[in-house]
Amino acid sequence: MSPMRLGQAEATRPTTRLRMLLAGKRPLVVPGCYNALSARILEHVGFEAVYMSGYGTSLSLLGLPDAGFATLTEMAMNARLIAGAVRAPVIADADNGYGNAINVVRTVEEFVRAGVAGIHLEDQVAPKRCGHVAGREVVSRREAVLKIRAAVAARDALDRDFVIVSRTDARGAHGGSLDEAIWRANAALDAGADLAFVEGPVDRAEVERICREVRGPVFYNMTGISPRLSEAEMAGLGVAVCILPGQAMRATMMAVHDFARAVRERGTMAELELDAAFKAHPLGDMHGFAGFDRVRELEAAFLPPEAQEKYADTLGHMPRSSAGR
């Protein structure tokens, strides 16, 4: 079982590690999380990087849709908690930068200090909304490019390895087109963005055109109205990064709903069935996954020997000591 991060952080900065991943296998598949727990599960399974979903943050933290309700403070806080829980580098949704180009400067600074490895910034007007929900509007070309320039300048002042992904919603926005989206993607790359993210292509032909005409690495969001492609297909097209932003949240919603319905319909003994199924699951040792073994290791290393005496003659889950491994 992969250990919790507590006291076991990587020496190499997450930004540098993300750069190394981006230089390697393509596409880099990055599933989405919405909190520290879901991030840890994704890392436990073996994903080398994780993505903080903006929709997932808004819905899990606020109980509200991705319609511009989550603030910079709330998004950066969630990013900080996620980055602090895993060793895998985190790419975070930074919405539209929460204001104009000057606000973008602070947005980049907050996410850098939160410990994430990169962010994507979109060109929507405020309040923004999910890139797969109708009713989106985008700012002017000039404003979109200036916001990316501001983001790059702020990044370079703090950590040049921090990854800036420029997202454009111009394909599906009011009055938008794929031509406009590709123009904006290339303009953002010219302004210093590391990857270009054209949100919401509707079929494979549009993805092919994006990969052919965008003059830099392509960041692809496989969700909503966009086509589903295999890793081999994306590699053939030239996709650099593919995020799967909301699937973990949807899986959680289904599981919690089904459990609640079972208890509502069959009573409290439904919990017994869940408990048995959970114990047989790869994550069935919840206390071990949470990190109680690591806590005991740290106690043995840094507390007086008598601190171990509290484990004698007590009831409940017994964390394993290093000596017992």
Active-site positions read 51, 66, 93, 95, 120, 122, 130, 167, 199, 221
User: What does the buried/exposed string (b/e) look like for 54-68 if buried means 16 or more CB atoms within 10 Å of the residue's CB?
Assistant: bbbbbbbbeeeebeb
Task: Please name the amino acid found at residue 27.
Answer: P
Nearest to 245 by CA among 33, 27, 18, 28: 33
Q: What CA–CA distance (Å, rounded) separates 62 from 56?
A: 10
Q: What CA–CA distance (Å, rounded) separates 297 from 119?
A: 35
Rounded to the nearest 5 degrees, what angle is found at the Cα of 188, between the Cα atoms of 187 and 189? Answer: 90
Q: Is the CB of residue 8 less than 8 Å from the CB of residue 87?
A: yes
Strand ranges inside the chain, DSSP E: 28-33, 50-52, 90-93, 118-122, 163-168, 195-198, 218-221, 239-244
- Token pair in block for residue 125: 């007007």
| Chain mean position to CA 169 | 19
- Name 235's Cβ contacts closer than 8 Å, sequence gap at least 6: 26, 27
Q: What CA–CA distance (Å, rounded) separates 50 from 39?
A: 7
Q: Residues 110, 116, 118, 121: is their CA dihedral positive or negative?
A: negative
Q: Is the CB of residue 55 less than 8 Å from the CB of residue 78?
A: no
Nearest to 186 by CA among 161, 216, 225: 216
